[in-house]
Structure 1
Amino acid sequence: MKITVIGAGHVGATAAHRLAEMQLATEVVLLDIVEGIPQGKALDMFESGPVGLFDTRILGTNDYSDTANSDIVLITAGMARKPGMSREDLLMKNANIVKQVTDQVMTYSDNPIIIMVSNPLDVMTHVSYVRSGLPKERVIGMAGVLDSARFRSFIAEELDVSMQDINAFVLGGHGDSMVPVVKYTNVAGIPLTELLPQERIDALVERTRKGGAEIVNHLKDGSAYYAPAASAVEMIEAIVRDRKRILPCSVQLDGQYGLNKVFIGVPVKLGRNGLEEIIEIDLDQTAREALQQSAAIVETNCNNLSSVLA
């Protein structure tokens, strides 16, 4: 198994190190356009192998030919958000970056599975899907895993219980229009609505929607990377080990939830072949309408990229 990480910034480097430590590949390639950065970080990671007890080969490079025959490509390249900047503000700049990255990836790898992390996530997944020409099962966006992790962590903190006992789904676009589904949120099987009053649940939902911005506001110059990297690696681990995990990911829908030809976060089964099944759960009217509104925002942004995708 060969896994390439595009972008040696905080998210990419953290993900590459985690992939190596978990020994999910015999070779991890870390690529960036800045000379010296991927080489230095990759060497530093490799030298941690005797302590971290892994034998994964890690190559840092600026040359896409080194990514040849990758099984999985994790794309983290792009500009990071700054305070006051929405994910949509990144639209045109990152669309051009993701377009160029995808074109280069496909020059050297025939049939990779692409995992998208760059923002705005759902739109960038669409860009990569169009440019790659890959089947929709092999282009997947990391969004709901991260958003659900944030929701779960906030619930665990509120209730003072283990995070391991929290189950939650956050669907929709990766942004302010995301849809935390309280109906399917429980603590060791106990519905969240039996443990917290509605006003506290509403506050946790709102904090989840603003979770990325909360971190950006603290960091001032940069955005989250530990949780995004961990979330992307969880998806890759499900694929590499064929675990058939049910995770909320951004995939192209074809009629599910009343939506067509749009990338949006929904529960899916991930295994060796990438996207193996889209799971359509029963949503109440409020959640279904919120999901459709979220999808409409993604569609509008995708339509604005016609010149980029030409």
Structure 2
Amino acid sequence: MKDHSASATHENRVCIVGCGRVGMASAYALIQSSFIREIVLVGRDREKTEGEVMDLEHAVAVPMKSPINVINGSYADAAASSIVVIAAGQATGGSDTSRLDLLDANAPIVREIVGKLRDEGFDGVLVMASNPVDLLVQVALEESGLPAGRVIGTGTLVDTARLRGMLAEAFDIEPRGVDAYIIGEHGDSEVAVWSGARIAGVPLNRCAPQEPQDYARMLERVRRAAPEVVRRKGHTEYAIGLCVQRICEAVLRNEHAVLAVSTVLGGEYGLTGVCLGTPCVVGKNGIERIIQLDLDDGELAALHRSAETLQRLHPRMSADAA
């Protein structure tokens, strides 16, 4: 594969398309990072976008660290970026709204954005933060013509963080001492890999044997976390913004970090052609490789059901359907 490092375009420039809550939470997280030199914002309302640029510029000046340029840009500016983050489209409208319900609204928006990036010659890494993220990664792949590894969805990164946080609280340790993953759809059919979970290196079932209903309750808490936030404040923003920042950091620093992101599978878990969340090694070329976890029979069956949920909706993403 060709080396698509940051130096191939504007070094350490990240563009965010979509200046709503998720886009701006991502931008705010990014300006506090030492690895960013320039942020481009692309929004439909240029006057509002200019206001966001000004606000971020004022924020950059507060800590008096290395300067970060913030630009009210165009798709030409976006195409010259190392990374483009798509955070545009309709957000979850209520606590009972499935992310899959957003597909009809957001697939045409993503198709339009990616088409403009393609026409401008974008050849970097594309990060999808809009929902339903797994299906929109598929849209972006089909529309962009980019190699599969250079289209990354935020996937189950935030769900994995939620699960680790809950387990850390239950065992009274810091989250970094927990190794556990959520895989599959970022949504109602996601799967917790209990069989591989570790607490400070010790298998979860040896730390505190649980009844199946205990695991089910914790997974349901993870699944309901975002809807509960939406029910109370109307939207989510901070956690997903930090997930975007983490992915960008892994790419620009060539970390080869293991992150639970959304990508298209090529035979892993017995699945091909479906985009879903799984641990991946993320570096300067995007997804360097997919890590296939060892699953027990129940987890593998649940993952296949999750994939089927996504595959059933794939025909709705076609340009004709839009």
TM range (shorter): over 0.9
Query: Offset of 1:297 from its aligned partner?
Result: 1.1
Query: Offset of 1:261 from its aligned partner?
Result: 0.9
Q: Is the 8 A contact 1:79 1:94 kept in 2?
A: yes
Aligned partner (choices 75, 78, 94) of residue 67 of structure 1: 78
Aligned partner (choices 208, 212, 225) of residue 195 of structure 1: 208
- Structure 2 match to 1:18: 29
CA offsets 1:176-220 (integer angstroms, 9 cap, x no match): 00011112222211222323633433211111122211111112x
- Which amino acid in the other structure matches residue 120 of structure 2? Y
- SS of residue paired to 1:71: strand
CA offsets 1:135-173 (integer angstroms, 9 cap, x no match): 101111111211101111122233332222222111001
Query: Offset of 1:120 from its aligned partner?
Result: 0.6
- Structure 2 match to 1:121: 133
- Which amino acid in the other structure matches residue 294 of structure 2? D
- Structure 1 match to 2:3: none
Please state if 1:153 is matched with 2:135: no
- SS of residue paired to 1:307: coil
Please state if 1:39 is matched with 2:50: yes
Query: Separation in 2 of the partners of 1:6 and 1:14?
Result: 13
- Structure 2 match to 1:98: 110
CA 35–183 in structure 1, closer or farther in 2 if over 3 Å, else same: same
CA offsets 1:224-254 (integer angstroms, 9 cap, x no match): 1111111121111111101111111111111
- Structure 1 match to 2:230: 216
How does the TM-score come out when normalised to structure 2?
0.91
Aligned partner (choices 147, 150, 153) of residue 141 of structure 1: 153
CA 196–16 in structure 1, closer or farther in 2 if over 3 Å, else same: farther
Query: Offset of 1:14 from its aligned partner?
Result: 1.4
- Structure 2 match to 1:205: 219
Query: Separation in 2 of the partners of 1:211 and 1:133?
Result: 34
Which fold has the larger relative contact order, with Cα–Cα distance below 8 Å and residues 6 or more apart in sequence?
A: 2
- Structure 1 match to 2:4: none
CA 104–23 in structure 1, closer or farther in 2 if over 3 Å, else same: farther
Counterparts of 1:170-189 in structure 2, within 5 Å, are 170-189=182-201
Query: Separation in 1 of the partners of 2:232 and 2:214?
Result: 23
CA 307–86 in structure 1, closer or farther in 2 if over 3 Å, else same: same
Q: Is the 8 A contact 2:315 2:321 kept in 1?
A: no
Query: Separation in 2 of the partners of 1:153 and 1:141?
Result: 21
Q: Is the 8 A contact 2:108 2:319 kept in 1?
A: no
Query: Separation in 2 of the partners of 1:271 and 1:127?
Result: 22
Moved more, 170-179 or 186-195: 186-195
Q: Is the 8 A contact 2:196 2:295 kept in 1?
A: no
Query: Separation in 2 of the partners of 1:275 and 1:216?
Result: 30
Aligned residues: 307
CA 259–217 in structure 1, closer or farther in 2 if over 3 Å, else same: same
The RMSD of aligned alpha carbons is 1.6
Aligned partner (choices 81, 85, 93) of residue 97 of structure 2: 85
**Structure 1 vs Structure 2: percent identity of aligned residues?**
32
| Structure 1 runs of 4+ with >4 Å offset | none
Counterparts of 1:142-291 in structure 2, within 5 Å, are 142-193=154-205, 194-195=207-208, 197-198=210-211, 199-219=213-233, 221=234, 223-291=235-303
CA 11–54 in structure 1, closer or farther in 2 if over 3 Å, else same: farther
Query: Offset of 1:255 from its aligned partner?
Result: 1.1
- Structure 1 match to 2:15: 4
**What are structure 1's unaligned runs of at least 5 residues?**
none
- SS of residue paired to 1:174: coil
